[in-house]
Amino acid sequence: MKFTMSTNIEDVLFKGEFCYKDMNLNDFLTLEMEGGGVVDANWNVLLREFLKEPARYIHYAGVLNEIKKTGAYARMEGTVRDEMDMEEDVRRLYEKGVENLLKWSLATAEVKANVHNLTKHFLDAAFIELMSSMTMSAPIRPEGCYESVYNARCHHVVEVPGGEGTGKDVKEGGCTTAVMDVQGSWRHSRKG
């Protein structure tokens, strides 16, 4: 996802992707537990609600314990809890008027201290990525410098042999002993 100053913080955190906190319990049980624990009464229970009170939705302690022992449950629980924390942080930030990356960058230390570390890391990383892309997109040029001066390469000026004092030739290459004092040469040329 490409970030801008006006990118919504919710989009930064969730990247417009599917959130497991909004998945139905029965869908999770069907996909990850081969249907173990599926009950018709739980068809519309979200995983975020299930994690608050698992025993309310799976009444058999043995089945619930078997589900909790699996790696799929541990991954789901960690992911859903992180998503719920970020969702709470988004709500808090919106209450403080922080809706996008620009406002996050300008937020006080107190506002930033009131969000979870994961949220803070995601938002800080997105802002750093945004700043890096902005500085890399513009060419670096010193102010007040003409294009020809900026792009100049090493050359030297030599007196043209047999010339009448005003003829000069520019040769590309490194510095040599044939380099003249250009200002002195011009002064000499004007006299003669």
3-state secondary structure of 158: strand
Range picked from 17-26, 58-67, 71-80 for highest mean pLDDT? 71-80
Percent pLDDT > 70 in the chain is: 67
3-state secondary structure of 168: strand
CA dist 145 → 142, 150, 151, 153, 181 (Å): 6, 6, 10, 14, 24
Q: How confident is the model at residue 126 (pLDDT cuts 50, 70, 90)?
A: very high
Q: How confident is the model at residue 143 (pLDDT cuts 50, 70, 90)?
A: low
Task: Say yes or no to pLDDT of 87 above 80.
Answer: yes
3-state secondary structure of 192: coil
- The residue-averaged pLDDT of 108-134 equals 92
Task: Say yes or no to pLDDT of 162 above 80.
Answer: no
Q: How far apart are CA 117 and CA 123, in angstroms?
A: 10
C-beta neighbour count of 87 within 10 angstroms: 18
Q: How confident is the model at residue 155 (pLDDT cuts 50, 70, 90)?
A: low
Higher pLDDT: 188 or 79? It is: 79
Task: Say yes or no to pLDDT of 110 above 90.
Answer: yes
pLDDT at residue 31, rounded to an integer: 85
What's the start-to-end Cα distance of the chain, in Å?
A: 69
CA 68, 74, 76, 80 dihedral sign is positive
pTM of the predicted model, to two decimals? 0.62
CA dist 84 → 14, 72, 160, 175 (Å): 11, 18, 79, 67
- The residue-averaged pLDDT of 99-127 equals 94
Task: Say yes or no to pLDDT of 176 above 50.
Answer: no
Q: How far apart are CA 69 and CA 143, in angstroms?
A: 64
Structural domain boundaries in the chain: 9-137, 149-191
Q: How confident is the model at residue 134 (pLDDT cuts 50, 70, 90)?
A: confident
